[in-house]
Amino acid sequence: MANLDASVEKILTTDYVGRPFVYMETTESTQNEVARYAVKGASEGLAVGAGYQSQGRGRLDRQWISTEGSSILVSVLLRPDEDYVNHIVIMAALALESFIGELDNDIPAQIKWPNDILIQGKKVAGILVERIKSDQPGVNDIVILGMGINMNLDTSKIPEISDISTSIYNFTGEKVDLIGGYKLLFENLEKYYESLKMGTDLLSIWKDKLITIGRPVQIENGGEEFNGIAEDVDDTGSLIVRRQDGSYTSVVAGDALIVSEQIT
């Protein structure tokens, strides 16, 4: 997809997200590429996309599976203030949900705690946030926001993920133009990031959309696994789970699988 980056930048309406946009046919990881630009002083909004990642990764050291040219695989450089740095995942989840709705408002996209976007119970997009601490007083930390969106990937033909993942194509039966897709994604991301910076209560909006709240869940929290009811999220976005013994646990960075059995 030669010159995809130039084609996207030509039609972008953002002030800074996706400017510049660097597109690579293949790379180890867009997260690593953005990190290299960041330590050299690249400005906020720089984005690196790829047709294929040989070492693409998701949360909790999981591999992100994709085939060449079938997905949006992108990482964006952000330099947020400390006041809202912990809400970048929340902001990105809302931006992704909005992006999918603008692609096709008949797609029933849902947000599952903490960072998965689902269509009919299967994952269509995920978010990975990595932070590089600043060693200079008064200089914001670097945050690298990675997003993987299954656009034209036919997940039904990939046995490793067919039971748990889907794509825009799998749902609509129609291929998506990736140039327009990147444009729309960057524009939604900038809109929600600006809202976050202006003090909009995105946490409450995100919480109201979470399909996890009030549901029985199986939690993987570090080396521990337990079942309970997802009762709430706190001000940091951590999931508050009521265990079967009645005690409460705050899950900061684990995983929550929604289960069907009723837990009382």
What gap in Å lies between CA 157 and CA 192, rounded to an integer? 34
Burial of 162 (0-12, 13-18, 19+ CB in 10 A): middle
Task: Please give the pLDDT value at position 263.
Answer: 42
Task: Please give the pLDDT value at position 137.
Answer: 82
Omega cis (within 30) before 20: yes
Cα 133 vs. chain centroid, distance in angstroms?
A: 21
What gap in Å lies between CA 257 and CA 225, rounded to an integer? 11
What gap in Å lies between CA 17 and CA 95, rounded to an integer? 13
Cα angle 183, 189, 192; round to 5: 140
- The answer on pLDDT for 182 being more than 50 is yes
The edge-to-edge listing of strands for the beta sheet with 142-150 is 21-27, 47-53, 71-78, 142-150, 122-132, 116-119, 109-112
Q: Where are the domains of the chain?
A: 4-208, 212-258
Q: CB under 8 Å to 13, separation ≥6 — which residues?
A: 183, 187
Average pLDDT over residues 139-155: 94
Are 4-208 and 212-258 the same fold in CATH? Answer: no
**For the domain with range 212-258, which CATH number is right: 3.90.870.10, 2.30.30.100, 3.40.50.2300, 2.120.10.10?**
2.30.30.100
Task: Please give the pLDDT value at position 59.
Answer: 47
Quick: pLDDT tens for 212-264.
999 999 998 878 899 999 999 999 999 999 999 999 999 998 889 998 744 44
Cα distances from 151 to residues 100, 145, 185, 212, 239, in angstroms, run 10, 18, 12, 24, 29
Task: Name the superfamily (CATH) of residues 4-208.
Answer: Bira Bifunctional Protein; Domain 2 (3.30.930.10)
What gap in Å lies between CA 116 and CA 114, rounded to an integer? 6
- DSSP state, 240? E
What gap in Å lies between CA 176 and CA 153, rounded to an integer? 10
Task: Please give the pLDDT value at position 2.
Answer: 62
Q: CB under 8 Å to 262, separation ≥6 — which residues?
A: 216
Quick: pLDDT tens for 1-43.
668 999 999 999 999 999 999 999 999 999 999 999 999 999 9
Q: Which two tokens stand for residue 218?
A: 């199986």
Phi, psi of 43 (to 5 degrees): -80, 160
